Amino acid sequence: MRIDQHWLDKASRVSSPNFDDRPTPEDISLIIIHCISLPPGEFGNTCIDQLFCNQLNPGDHPYFKGIAGLTVSSHLLIKRTGEIVQYVPFDKRAWHAGQSCYEGRERCNDFSIGIELEGTETVPYTEPQYVELATAVNALLKSYPGLSADRIAGHSDVAPGRKNDPGESFDWQKFYCHLGK
């Protein structure tokens, strides 16, 4: 897997309108791991694509009424099958971390890459997700000199008290083993 013009060559592309320019384009120095499922706890549908592309129909599920107007995105989504979807090129600022702070630095979207795992904080992630996450992260580490294996955080780490993902179901040791660290 490699990155070509800020796109992961193995990922399918679903272009989200929810991004803008980074304040300092060369400052890509953090990877944030998230989890998402829509509706909550349901997997294998197109609802995440719809959310990230502002196409979520609030009438399709009661939960959607509260989130249909959000303008959010992530750089990558890794589905439970291991399939990778890219929504935003890595040199652009995806809107994934919200109000956040890492090592005293606020506005993590400015300098981070967001990776969503299809899942919940309490349901174990799949082996294909760990394999593809590690493969994608290794490609990012090779392509962006500001990144390192020491600068990978969960959403809960950059927004404590507000976010819990990727949650207790994410096995950090397993991830780092797949990463080769």
Q: Any idea where the domains of the chain sit in the sequence?
A: 7-179
pLDDT digits (tens, 9 = 90+) for 35-88: 999 999 999 999 999 999 999 999 999 999 999 899 999 999 999 999 999 999
Report the topology of domain 7-179. Answer: Lysozyme-like (3.40.80)
Tell whether the model's pLDDT for residue 32 goes beyond 90. Answer: yes
* 106 flagged as catalytic: no
Q: CB-hemisphere CA count at 13 Å for 147?
A: 22
β-strands 30-36, 152-154: how paired?
parallel
Task: Tell me which of 103, 116, 118, 121 is the catalytic residue.
Answer: 116
Q: Is the pTM of this model over 0.95?
A: yes
Question: For the chain, where are the alpha helices, taking DSSP H only?
Answer: 47-52, 127-143, 155-158, 172-179
